[in-house]
Every structure is written in C-alpha cells, then in structure tokens.
Amino acid sequence: MPSFYSERTAEYTLTPKFLTLIEPLGDAVPIYFSARREDTHVAFESLHGESFHLVAFFARRPKINAAESLIIEGKINQRLFRVAKCASELGIQTLCGISLTNNIFKQSLAESLWFDISQVKLEDDLRFICEINKELKLNKFHGQIQPTNHSTIISSIANSRVLDWAEVTSIMRELPKLADDSPPSHFMFLSQTWRFRPLYFVIRRK
C-alpha cells in the first residue's frame, strides 16, 4: 500500500501524544540528538545529580490503498528490531507509534497505536493491518505482534535502566553506530545510521 506522508511528519503528531502518555513518569523531553549540543559542559552542569530514563522511538507512517480507506497498513522494518536489540542491551526501551488516520489533516484526531519492540526477535520486516471505523478508531488488528497498552508502557519504562546525563548522552551518541550493520560509506545519506536514527525521549525521574 502507498504512503501519503513521511515518518518525520508522523513524528510531529505522535510526539505530543507520547509525551502525554509518559507524563506519570516525570518531566520528559523529546531529543533529536546532536553531538556537541546536548553533551556540552553547560548541559552537564545544569543536570548534575539528576537521574533519567531513556526511550528510543520510531514513528511509523500509515499506508492506504484509496482515499478515506478504513483499512490501514503499517510496517516495522527489520532494521528497527536490530536497533531495539542493541538498545535493550544498553538497558533502554524501544517503541514505535502510528496514527490510524486516512488523511494527513486528521492525525491528531485519530487513535494511535504503540508497539514495544524491545524484545522482538524477527529477521524480516513486520507488516500489520488495522481495520478502523469512521471515527478513526481501531476495530480489528491483524499482525504478528500486538499493540502495547499504556500501563504496560509506563511499567516497562519505569523498570528500565536509571541513567545520569553522561550515560544518556553516551547512549544517544553510540546506539545508531552499534545498530548500523551497513557497509561503511563516504556518503552519509547511504548509511543506515542516518536512515534509522531514533527520536529519543528523556524522562527526568521524580
């Protein structure tokens, strides 16, 4: 099925929804990590002595065959499972999200599904089908893994590794490198490190 907007566009709507979901855990901020920004001396000094949880997040885009379709397809790429495996070894969770919308302007109105892929061991891309109603809510889900409910997400993040800011920035810097199994390239845009760099959520523990 064809897509009708990009993952980056999907991030813009899913990010505030995910921030609301994890609000019970403490203050949270989404970060698109940039070396020599979040890991400067000023950043370290301003967050000295505090502790955090870290989540790697990937937005997924819905796909439809025709306008206003009530059948939506989603896909979680095999390479994201590799990122999740490496993230799990570092003690952090990896989640994906998708809006069940058939119109780019209805993203905020549509129900969102969340998938914790931290422990998923698959060697292929995972596709799933969602049957939705006219209110853009899920009627039926067909897929190899099931969406994760809110309380399970909260619990899994709360039980993940507790980090200081130095550990947070180190993981954000190193995870894409660890998960990138593509051949070295002189061109950044050909690298899987660039293509599958997650959005991070850093949660300051209460």
pTM of this structure: 0.90
Specify the pLDDT at position 36: 64
Q: Does residue 190 surpass a pLDDT of 70?
A: no
Report the share of the chain in percent with pLDDT over 70: 87
Mean pLDDT lowest for which of 12-21, 72-81, 184-193?
A: 184-193
Q: Does residue 193 surpass a pLDDT of 50?
A: no
Q: Does residue 122 surpass a pLDDT of 70?
A: yes
Instruction: Provide the mean pLDDT of the chain.
Output: 89
Residue 190 or 206, more confident? 206
Cα within 13 Å of Cα(141), Cβ side: 17
**Strand segments (E) across the chain:** 26-31, 52-60, 71-76, 93-99, 112-116, 126-132, 138-142, 199-205
Summarize the confidence of residues 126-151 as an average pLDDT.
97
Residue 22 or 185, more confident? 22
Summarize the confidence of residues 24-31 as an average pLDDT.
96
Summarize the confidence of residues 28-38 as an average pLDDT.
80
Summarize the confidence of residues 145-156 as an average pLDDT.
97
Residue 182 or 5, more confident? 5
Q: Residue 203 and residue 17: Cα distance in Å, rounded? A: 15
